[in-house]
Structure 1
């Protein structure tokens, strides 16, 4: 395990204990979240080192890597993914008609497969070998890491990926170098300021320790990406995520009436977010000048 002594965002060493959360998926162990008293950033601390981090993804229930359709949670995940891919693509087409796209952390290649039908040049990066093998059945160019020689991209997407990356600023810098001038980058992450996050506290499924290393509030995401010279274009809520995350949380709690309760929490979270803009997950769109 690696203990972090400085905030990954602002480099302050004024760190405070925030929460203790359980890994329900793989290890069943508890992990600590700290918060920076200077900027308020929340992050897992300590974190697994790079040689052991991959082991925490080894589960058939990690749907973005396995594509399993067993059980209610899996079916809900696939339903939400089918809806969201169309919304995500419409966001891209608002800014770029056609070109090259990199899906960083592409999982089993579902989004890239959709992009491929739109006649885009598609490239994916996926570190997990099993998920990468599934993705390569859909799209030819899927790699373990970004090749040294690759085209610059008109669009780069990170769908619930940024929170997983250990070397956060280094990797972002590398990606932005490979983004075409006037190209866009779309980043989806969970939102710890959402109602469902506050309601569920340490049990909130989107904390997903130790796989999720960081938890970005809106101002923190804007500050981070703008520090690389990018222009913020838009932030959009992902309403389906509140239902999925709430149901996953309720099932892990093994509560009575988990389905109707999760629906009520997800619905209230979305209704509240219509006034606060704090949806369970958010998509940020930035442009490179």
Structure 2
């Protein structure tokens, strides 16, 4: 698209595979393989299979990320070893909160736990209306490690956690991301951390387009080693989070007004 080429994107809710409906593919290839002027390039650029819908029934959007999405900045309220707050209101000076790395606990274990020393969890109010996230969520965090190297993982989840044979990954995990704090200055060069010193990290979570239904809570989970995606170091590294220097940014369709309407 940046090069001026005609594009369409199709997202579905499954794993690998899952082609667009035959009608969509036929129109595209009829236009660009057979040069038949059928106007497909003037149609919406993004087609997304919504939650719990078949791949044959995508919903069209003008583009991806959704052009109606804008950033909503959320601050953290203390209590993360139980349930801290995820709020649009920036609190007064907050205490530092701590977690202890232990890869023997999976991300789902930590998200389901009502209390844990191995993660910090910050939750929104219960949604009164659905919230549509479209694009890149971003995290800015100020952290310190008790050791020169540590893993750092972030999951954005929907609570309460759903379980059962019919539950899919995206019913619980909204998006997630990882960073190596040793790369706080550069993606290509790392440097050992000074234990106890605070560093600032900013990075994007995985791109997403998801509608979080009413009745759920959006929760930011901060932990260290992710059993599914990172190295497995010996347990015991302590990470301290400066809540005053930490902020989550969510791309929400309808922006701040939509989020406020859903959470107030």
TM over 0.5: no
- Structure holding more strand per residue: 2
Greater RCO, 1 or 2 (C-alpha within 8 Å, sep 6+): 2
The alignment's TM-score, normalised by the length of structure 1, stands at 0.23
The alignment's TM-score, normalised by the length of structure 2, stands at 0.25
